[in-house]
Amino acid sequence: MSSPQPSRTEPAPFQAELREYLAHLGVERGLSEHTLAAYRRDLTRYAAFLTARQRRHVAEVTETDVTDYVEALRTGSDGGHPLSAASTSRAVVAVRGWHRFATLEGRTDHDPAATVRPPSSVKRLPKAISVDEVDKLLAGASMAEGVLGLRDRALVEVLYGTGARISEAVGLDVDDVDLDRSTPSLRLFGKGRKERVVPMGRYAVEALEAHLVRARPALAQSGRGSAKVFLNQRGNPLSRQSAWAVLQAAAERGGVQAHISPHTLRHSYATHLLNGGADVRVVQELLGHASVTTTQIYTLVTPDTLREVYTASHPRARD
């Protein structure tokens, strides 16, 4: 009888090491299944690259191997699809994390990826929509029939009013909602199950109250007693995909021309806060960013703002 074939998803020489690292990310770091899947894809491609170079153990990997792999990601010279700078950066993060883990666990006495940096990418301004477009989106959400209009309005108000990620919003339990009129807030669980409490404004509070009192009980009758705030018509927790569809339908009904996604509302939340004078570190805490560097992209000024300031301030710009 022939011996079992190695996994086609993880090259045999690194199979055990990769699985150990992924288990660490899932159990110790608490990363989501979606994030773990991305790490698995990136590291499987990396392991295949190393195997093609006759590497059989993490201790045999050199810095040149790592830098050549980064180049292969950009060009596709390893037989895979060429990646953008942003996707390459994500893959390099996975590679660096694995080597750091292997070093700390004593699998090797050197870290070949320690000094390798991902390629720089062009920073793009996050796409935010105007306050008027937010109003149109909210109006469109309210146009849904019956109790769904109350639910959809509450969902949009929560996303825009708290800057919650879509996974955080659909993951809300009823016990995570505090509607105390003096300090209304939501308890959100972000990446790695990191908990934060964010305040809510009056509009979000009123929309959530209407949903919890008038809509959710009606939706829950068809389900099995889910504790989630947002339910579908069968009484089950609203999925990320269904929440996305809610936004698309609301945008269409409200006549919003801009592209709308859950992250559009998160971007708009941050941009409108900073435009209103909020400190970037406060916005960092509200968004649940681990580093203020991530939040600082929202402080980049737009070309229109540059032109306005130039026209108003430079002596040779005026007639």
Contact by Cβ (8 Å): 160, 264? no
How sure is the predictor about 309, in pLDDT bands with cuts at 50, 70 and 90? low
pLDDT in tens, 31-89: 888 889 999 999 999 999 999 999 999 999 999 999 999 999 988 999 888 988 888 98
Give the β-pairing of 177-178 and 195-199.
Answer: unpaired
Contacts of 221 by beta carbon, 8 Å cutoff, 6+ apart: 235
Measured over the CA atoms of residue 213, residue 215, residue 218 and residue 223, the dihedral's sign is: negative
Contact by Cβ (8 Å): 167, 32? yes
The more confident residue out of 293 and 219 is 219
> How far is it, in rounded angstroms, from Cα 45 to Cα 30?
23
> How far is it, in rounded angstroms, from Cα 223 to Cα 233?
9
Catalytic residue annotation: 165, 191, 263, 266, 289, 298
Contact by Cβ (8 Å): 70, 90? no
Please state which of the four CATH numbers 1.10.3470, 3.40.1130, 1.10.150, 3.40.50 is assigned to the domain occupying 12-104: 1.10.150
- Reply yes or no on domain 131-303 having CATH 3.10.20.30: no
Rg of the chain over Cα atoms, rounded to whole angstroms, equals: 24
Residue 97: per-residue pLDDT: 93
Is the per-residue pLDDT at 257 higher than 80? yes
DSSP category for residue 54 = T
Query: Do the first three CATH levels of 12-104 and 131-303 match, i.e. the same topology?
Result: no
Contact by Cβ (8 Å): 74, 124? no
- Each domain of the chain, given as residue ranges in start order, spans 12-104, 131-303
pLDDT in tens, 128-179: 899 999 999 999 999 998 999 999 999 999 999 999 999 999 999 999 999 9
Q: pTM of this prediction?
A: 0.61
Contacts of 83 by beta carbon, 8 Å cutoff, 6+ apart: 73, 74, 91
> How far is it, in rounded angstroms, from Cα 228 to Cα 137?
23
Least Cα distance to 205 among 183, 228, 187 occurs for 183
